[in-house]
Amino acid sequence: MQELSIRLPQIPDIAPLEPFDADLLRAMYRQMVLIRQFELKVNELFLQGIMPGTIHLSLGQEASVVGACMALEADDVITLTHRGHGQALAKGLSADSLMAELFGKETGCCRGKGGSLHVGDMSVGALPALAIVGASSPIAAGMAFAFKRQETGQVALNFFGEGTVNKGDWHEALNLASVWKLPVVFLCENNLYGVSTHISEVMAIEYVAERASSYGMPGSTIYGNDPIIVFQTVMAAAQRARSGGGPTLIECLTYRRGGHKRDDPGAYRPREEVEAWFKTDPIPAFRARLLKDERFSPSALDVLEEAVTATIDAAVDFALASDTPALTAALEFVYAD
Amino acid sequence: MQELSIRLPQIPDIAPLEPFDADLLRAMYRQMVLIRQFELKVNELFLQGIMPGTIHLSLGQEASVVGACMALEADDVITLTHRGHGQALAKGLSADSLMAELFGKETGCCRGKGGSLHVGDMSVGALPALAIVGASSPIAAGMAFAFKRQETGQVALNFFGEGTVNKGDWHEALNLASVWKLPVVFLCENNLYGVSTHISEVMAIEYVAERASSYGMPGSTIYGNDPIIVFQTVMAAAQRARSGGGPTLIECLTYRRGGHKRDDPGAYRPREEVEAWFKTDPIPAFRARLLKDERFSPSALDVLEEAVTATIDAAVDFALASDTPALTAALEFVYAD
Amino acid sequence: MLTDRTAPAQSSNRELTIVQALREAVREEMRRDEQVFVLGEDIRIGGSFLFTLGLLDEFGPERVLNTPISEAGFVGLAIGAAVQGMRPIIDFQYGDFIFTAFDQIIQQCAKLRYMSGGQVSIPLVFQLPTGASGRGAQHANSVETIFFGIPGLKIVTPATPYDAKGLFKSAVRDNNPVLFCVHKHLYGSKGRQLAKSSISRGHVPETEYLIPLGKGDIKKRGSEITVVANGQMLHRSLNVAEALESEGLSAEVVDPRCLVPFDTELVIDSVVRTSRIVIVEEGNERGGWGAQLAAEIANRAIGYLDAPVLRVASPNVPIPFSPVLESAVIPGESRIRSAILELMDQ
Amino acid sequence: MLTDRTAPAQSSNRELTIVQALREAVREEMRRDEQVFVLGEDIRIGGSFLFTLGLLDEFGPERVLNTPISEAGFVGLAIGAAVQGMRPIIDFQYGDFIFTAFDQIIQQCAKLRYMSGGQVSIPLVFQLPTGASGRGAQHANSVETIFFGIPGLKIVTPATPYDAKGLFKSAVRDNNPVLFCVHKHLYGSKGRQLAKSSISRGHVPETEYLIPLGKGDIKKRGSEITVVANGQMLHRSLNVAEALESEGLSAEVVDPRCLVPFDTELVIDSVVRTSRIVIVEEGNERGGWGAQLAAEIANRAIGYLDAPVLRVASPNVPIPFSPVLESAVIPGESRIRSAILELMDQ
Ligand SMILES: Cc1ncc(C[n+]2csc(CCOP(=O)(O)OP(=O)(O)O)c2C)c(N)n1
Ligand SMILES: Cc1ncc(C[n+]2csc(CCOP(=O)(O)OP(=O)(O)O)c2C)c(N)n1
Ligand SMILES: [Mg+2]
Ligand SMILES: [Mg+2]
């Protein structure tokens, strides 16, 4: 493991893209751009006062979520955090149904009953998000338990932030997953802050991945703004999980471009740190890298980006045009039949 | 750290007793015998059907609790477990008020309202026991927090079993104590089993103390049936805590002589293991060691033991002669004025 | 589909304790459905109240799992397994330990279906010994009360072996989280031994049957006053009612059996006939399920009442250890009797 | 001792929001008593509702502590500190996160004094934003309801800046754990900004004062019907009552201010005068504090009633996100109005 600074990014050597399939790389880039544009649009709608609720944007963390989700099979399952739009899109949730959910519309992925904090879609393997820090880790382990018992070969991937690892539920989940060798990947998006609080204030060790040893499981800290590194690391962990090797803890170092949520200017972060990390913005970096590869041209990427813009615009139109739920919907789905 | 087997005891080299004050050694032995006799008497009363409630005996674990408590100052504070009689006596709780409490009498340390699971006495620095596994760890950290803030120089010692370290509260407590460098000693009585469940079934690592590294705190595994080793280790940790060095995790390997509680024969434990550990019974071992030292004679120890017997008998008489609480007591102490 | 029978069949006289009835239920359900499994602390040796005794032999360690002491962890794990189509049963040593998993239950388990717009269902049974049994305040919670107001959960509090078996089988087949709360004194096991307690024994037919969740049962017919009681309090109330019968007072005793869904209609029908009601529960008086029932009576049946609604419950204190104090706090037969007689005077 | 004044002094016209009043209260108490300190997540930058804004500057990081996200850990830590003579105030970002520390609160904090026979006391204030505010089910719990039945805790639900300040100061000086639950819409802060909401502003005198815990307040006098409401529901009820006044109906509005201890006498006195009662709360109808109040009315004041006891509360569902659904679920003015009119018809 390369030595990384916990405050300032240290970008590892860039792996050559040649060994990777062009479709894969294109899909990666598209997903990252999709998330970026989605979040920027959401921000705009919020500023316009059109969008209800509260919003935690994932701008800047696209490489980690896309790298991770692309390393999974379609029927593998992820759990999402409060910062879940990117995770959901990365796993294949449609922008339409996500956008409609944020507007509380009947056509939303949760029929408008979840909202930003609870987005997800079981049909693409995204368990609707749980917004209580730490709560999803045992549940991810439980889905993995079912996969193991039912011998489906599926894997569960649990997303969480570095602020989460001081929570009891997280600890209990890692222990259980390890003791029962469950096919689960614990993926930490370490963006250095939980709301305004820097990781060094809440942990007396430097890296989250150091905690893996407490559970006898492998752990690694990687540069999270390179989707390829994340992809490879998660792929290996998923393979290990699928073949009965048990869980892995992966820590992706990354950074939020904005504050914790929409109304947070993030002023608690040192300017030097912000500037250094902003330079590592995963999207221009990956674009530049793709363009060094002869299989990609600027115009092709422009077309891709424009197509994404159209998708997002269509999603907004779809959401705005959709009906709000009937009032009787409030009484539905409390219990299953 | 000497390599110890997690199933079979490996007794470390016996340290010479010469450097230790005879009064200290005598007091250690007395406390161990006091606990042993107390617990045997409780068992007897229980079998006779005289004693109410449910009882978790600490027979066999006397060296750990006595070594630990004797390393503390009188005004240091301990938290106790469900297996707390020995811990309480070791910290100086009177046998009278402990016995009376077990009988639910008005003269009990908790006026009969606590019972076996909640014994303790603030005046000797024993916070009445909390019977929910893991719950006492953050509370011990909190007492340490107050000591640090009030600059009293006191230390808190948190007793727990090895089964406890998979609980979220424990994890959160160790992390907080470490981040805030609180004067607390986390002392694990590792008797290999939580009820019927062997440690190896619930943890994928061998020793509890390995988890200290997750919190950036020192951890050590020691042989817990030698009160001297425990005493020295806790003394060093308490000193570290008092001088601002923060918390320490200490794991004492020991063994229950009986089952988890009174009605448990403990049949889940392999015979070989039981036999090997029973041979390490801390009380005859320490007695034999004392007798190798010319400052102690068999007759003097016999006198000491008989005095303890008298103390226990007196405690039973005291408890039986004490009044049950007035019924109105049930309504008292819900709120403080 | 099996028949629903609220009265036991008379084809045989087999008597079981509640824990025996529950074990029979869980075995039948595990045989019937491969997705059913049991997890909990020390359940290989039978668990605290012998609920899992013998399960390991029949179903093996893959379906009978000893957990670490990690309630939030294994509750969450069970939720995840349930989301993926399994039907976990969690055996709690004492229901009192569930509070360390409270968030998992009320925030995750109870809400995930709703928040997801019906995308998931969580069939999950919690086997929860409840109530006071001489162990002090931390082991004496009326667990059912504390979860009573949470939408998304069902809560069962059986008092007889017959009800326990039929309700447990329904709970396992239900597609929702169900808290199955049996009073610690009612299992018919004492520590690791079967106890011969008359209140815990009762007829259980050999033929399979289900009892639907949410249907109460009139345990004794009567015309002058309605007594609603569950769990251990049902037995105390029945004893009182039977004694009063011989003194010429006809009390009806209604066992709701489930707190959620609650068979309010059954109670109201009864009150309409008797015009008096006493509600008996073991938990603290403030915020008990009895308060909700009293509120519903005050709203829907106030015109039928000839007397105030009376509740018998523990005072608002933690449960003290000392046996004399514990029995002073927990409603006993004399308090129930006094309450009934007091109401009859009005 | 400061005077207890239930009506604001008229010496000045200073108006504050609730969060400003609370900040003033906490500053005064921290100045008065060195043992008072505040801990919670991100409180150095002011916390979620600006309760701690500016505290760091005045009191420094030793008394204003940013915690890790470890609710069970820091609640337990606060308990331990309180046992040793400190007076912690825990600022929760949302009260909804307290459930991950539920065991620490109901099993340890609430019971330790009792179980120990009075050996310890635990002066500890929980600052808890409660209720629904457009964030979906996990951030919309009526926290006060879920703890309502637990002996050993006190629960305060102020609705005005005047009450908030006087009650908060009493809570800090109280020697027991106090859950101080303020509706998220009432603070007068929106995210990290102060919001200009008329309902959250009110007169707060400059001179120091305390309001005792457990004393309700009649917020509007009336003679024909009693409306009991707290928190955000108090404001909605007052609006309705004032509108009805101009239509010739005289409703009395009682604010219990504290749920535990509850000023039942004040409500009963009012009902004796009006002979009708509507109880309004935001939480789910099943098991709410309103059920307990209704039960007490049904027991103690049934003879004075001219109509059934009516409750207005949320239906028994988690809180949906969609704004249209959320406002359909949470009692609004029209539901309160209809309830009052319905009762007046009887
Ligand atoms: C148990 C709990 N406590 C507090 C919160 C409030 N909260 C939401 S997100 C968050 C910070 C989480 O930090 P991290 O895990 O690093 O994720 P990030 O926001 O950086 O993505 C906090 C404190 C919560 N949702 N749940
Ligand atoms: C949260 C919780 N879960 C379960 C229990 C039941 N219980 C009491 S003691 C115990 C075993 C504890 O094992 P360990 O920590 O090793 O202590 P030991 O009994 O060996 O002293 C269990 C499971 C409990 N008291 N609290
Ligand atoms: Mg973070
Ligand atoms: Mg143990």
Examine residue D181 and state whether it is found in any structural domain, yes or no. yes
Q: Which one of B166, B181, B213 would you mutate to disrupt binding with A, by most A Cβ within 10 Å of its Cβ?
A: B166
Q: Which two tokens stand for residue D339?
A: 């309830």
Q: Which residues of B touch A (CB under 8 A)?
A: 166-172, 175-176, 178-179, 201-205, 210-211, 213-217
Whether A179 sits inside 8 A of B203 (CB atoms) is yes
Q: Does D346 touch chain B (CB under 8 A)?
A: no
* Count: domains in chain D: 2
Q: Establish, for the pair of chains C and D, how many residue pairs have beta carbons separated by less than 8 Å.
A: 149
Residue-wise pLDDT tens digits, C303-317: 999 999 999 999 999
Q: Which residue has the higher pLDDT, A15 or D101?
A: D101
Q: Which one of B50, B55, B133, B261 would you mutate to disrupt binding with C, by most C Cβ within 10 Å of its Cβ?
A: B133
The partner residue sitting opposite B166, judged by closest CB among C70, C316, C328, is C70
Q: Is C100 in the pocket of ligand 2 (CB under 6 A)?
A: yes
Which CATH fold topology does A22-318 show? Answer: Rossmann fold (3.40.50)
Q: What is the largest CA-CA distance in chain D?
A: 60
Examine residue D7 and state whether it is found in any structural domain, yes or no. no
Same domain, D71 and D153: yes
Q: For residue D161, give its domain range.
A: 15-203
For residue A222, what pLDDT band results from cuts at 50, 70 and 90? very high
What is the model's pLDDT at position C1? 39
Q: Does A195 touch chain D (CB under 8 A)?
A: yes
Q: What percent of chain C has pLDDT over 70?
A: 94
What is the model's pLDDT at position D191? 58
**Average pLDDT, integer, range C241-253:** 97
What is the model's pLDDT at position D4? 42
For residue D197, what pLDDT band results from cuts at 50, 70 and 90? low
Examine residue D255 and state whether it is found in any structural domain, yes or no. yes
What is the model's pLDDT at position C11? 61
CA distance C73 to C69: 9
Give the CATH number of the domain where residue D56 resides. Answer: 3.40.50.970
Whether B175 sits inside 8 A of D70 (CB atoms) is yes
Residue-wise pLDDT tens digits, B199-240: 999 999 999 999 999 999 999 999 999 999 999 999 999 999
CA distance B334 to B325: 16
Q: Please give all residues whose CB falls under 5 A of ion ligand 4, grouped by chain where several chains appear.
A: B 161-163, 191, 194
Whether B139 sits inside 8 A of D79 (CB atoms) is yes
Whether A141 sits inside 8 A of C37 (CB atoms) is no
Residue-wise pLDDT tens digits, A225-275: 999 999 999 999 999 999 999 999 999 999 999 999 988 889 999 999 999
Q: Which residues contact C253 (CB under 8 A, 6 or more apart)?
A: C218, C219, C220, C222, C227, C228, C229, C234, C237, C238, C241
Residue-wise pLDDT tens digits, C88-131: 999 999 999 999 999 999 999 999 999 999 999 999 999 999 99
Residue-wise pLDDT tens digits, C11-44: 678 999 999 999 999 999 999 999 999 999 999 9
**Average pLDDT, integer, range C271-291:** 98
What is the model's pLDDT at position C197? 59
Examine residue C162 and state whether it is found in any structural domain, yes or no. yes
Residue-wise pLDDT tens digits, D301-337: 999 999 999 999 999 999 999 999 999 999 999 999 9
Q: Establish, for the pair of chains A and D, how many residue pairs have beta carbons separated by less than 8 Å.
A: 129
**Average pLDDT, integer, range A151-179:** 98
Q: Which two tokens stand for residue C128?
A: 């929860």
Examine residue D4 and state whether it is found in any structural domain, yes or no. no
D10 pLDDT more than 90: no
Same domain, C197 and C232: no
Same domain, D102 and D141: yes
Complete DSSP assignment for C315-328: -SSPPPSSHHHHHH
C194 pLDDT more than 70: no
| Chain C residues 183-202 with CB within 8 Å of chain B | 190-193
What's the mean per-residue pLDDT of chain A? 96
Same domain, D261 and D130: no
Is C67 strand, coil or helix?
coil
CA distance C279 to D287: 15
Q: Which ligand is nearest to the CA of D74?
A: 1
What is the model's pLDDT at position B262? 80
The DSSP element (H or E) to which D332 belongs, if any, is: none
Q: What is the torsion angle, in degrees rounded to the nearest 10, for the CA atoms of residue D314, residue D315, residue D320 and residue D325?
A: -80
What is the model's pLDDT at position D6? 45
For residue A14, what pLDDT band results from cuts at 50, 70 and 90? confident
The DSSP element (H or E) to which D252 belongs, if any, is: strand D251-255
For residue D12, what pLDDT band results from cuts at 50, 70 and 90? confident
For residue A6, what pLDDT band results from cuts at 50, 70 and 90? confident
D partners (3+ CB pairs within 8 A) are A, B, C
Whether A214 sits inside 8 A of B202 (CB atoms) is no
Residue-wise pLDDT tens digits, D60-96: 999 999 999 999 999 999 999 999 999 999 999 999 9
CA distance D308 to D302: 9
Name every chain B residue with its beta carbon within 8 A of the beta carbon of C97.
132-133
Q: Does A75 touch chain C (CB under 8 A)?
A: no
For residue C195, what pLDDT band results from cuts at 50, 70 and 90? low
Taking Cα atoms as reference points, which of A212, A224, A149 lies closest to residue A185? A212
Q: Backbone phi, then psi, for A142, in 5-degree steps?
A: -65, -40
What is the model's pLDDT at position C200? 76
Extract the residue ranges of chain B whose pLDDT is less than 70. 1-5
Q: Is B83 in the pocket of ligand 2 (CB under 6 A)?
A: yes
Q: Which one of B81, B118, B147, B149 would you mutate to disrupt binding with D, by most D Cβ within 10 Å of its Cβ?
A: B149
Domain boundary among D203, D226, D255: D203
The partner residue sitting opposite C70, judged by closest CB among A113, A143, A175, is A175
Same domain, D131 and D263: no
Examine residue D1 and state whether it is found in any structural domain, yes or no. no
pTM of the predicted protein model: 0.98
Distance from Cα B324 to the centre of ligand 2, integer Å? 29
What's the mean per-residue pLDDT of chain B? 96
Give the CATH number of the domain where residue D297 resides. Answer: 3.40.50.920
Q: Does A171 touch chain D (CB under 8 A)?
A: no
Distance from Cα C21 to the centre of ligand 2, integer Å? 27
Q: Does D154 touch chain B (CB under 8 A)?
A: yes
Q: What percent of chain B has pLDDT over 70?
A: 99
Q: Candidates A195, A203, A261: which one to mutate for ligand 1, based on the most atoms within 8 Å of Cβ?
A: A195
Q: Whose CA is nearest to atom 19 of ligand 2?
A: B194
Report the 3 state secondary structure along chain A.
Answer: CCCCCCCCCCCCCCCCCCCCCHHHHHHHHHHHHHHHHHHHHHHHHHHCCCCCCCCCCCCCCHHHHHHHHHCCCCCCEEECCCCCHHHHHHHCCCHHHHHHHHCCCCCCCCCCCCCHHHCCEHHHCEECCCCCCCCHHHHHHHHHHHHHHHCCCCCEEEEEEHHHHHCHHHHHHHHHHHHCCCCEEEEEEECCEECCEEHHHHCCCCCHHHHHHHHCCCEEEEECCCHHHHHHHHHHHHHHHHCCCCCEEEEEECCCCCCCCCCCCCCCCCHHHHHHHHCCCHHHHHHHHHHHCCCCCHHHHHHHHHHHHHHHHHHHHHHHHCCCCCHHHHHCCCCCC
Residue-wise pLDDT tens digits, A186-205: 999 999 999 999 999 999 99
Whether B115 sits inside 8 A of C136 (CB atoms) is yes
Q: Which one of C89, C116, C154 would you mutate to disrupt binding with A, by most A Cβ within 10 Å of its Cβ?
A: C116
For residue A3, what pLDDT band results from cuts at 50, 70 and 90? very low
Name every chain D residue with its beta carbon within 8 A of the beta carbon of A324.
322, 324
C191 pLDDT more than 50: yes
ipTM rounded to 2 decimals = 0.98
Q: Please give all residues whose CB falls under 5 A of ion ligand 3, grouped by chain where several chains appear.
A: A 161-163, 191, 194
Whether D151 sits inside 8 A of C107 (CB atoms) is no
Q: Which residue has the higher pLDDT, C139 or C189?
A: C139
C233 pLDDT more than 70: yes
Structure letter (DSSP) for residue C42: T
Q: Which atom of ligand 1 has the smallest separation from the CA of A260? A: 19
**Average pLDDT, integer, range C233-250:** 97
Q: Is B287 in the pocket of ligand 2 (CB under 6 A)?
A: no
Q: Candidates D43, D44, D92, D93: which one to mutate for ligand 1, based on the most atoms within 8 Å of Cβ?
A: D93
- Lowest mean pLDDT, pick from B265-269, C69-73, C145-149, D68-72: B265-269
Q: Candidates A55, A133, A263: which one to mutate for ligand 1, based on the most atoms within 8 Å of Cβ?
A: A133
Crossing angle for the helix pair A168-179 and B168-179, nearest 10 degrees?
120
Name every chain C residue with its beta carbon within 8 A of the beta carbon of B167.
69-71, 100
Complete DSSP assignment for C268-280: HHHHHHH--EEEE
Q: Does A138 touch chain D (CB under 8 A)?
A: no
Distance from Cα B194 to the centre of ligand 2, integer Å? 6
Q: Which atom of ligand 2 has the smallest separation from the CA of B133? A: 26
Q: Which residues contact A76 (CB under 8 A, 6 or more apart)?
A: A125, A154, A155, A156, A157, A238
Q: Which atom of ligand 2 has the smallest separation from the CA of C93? A: 6
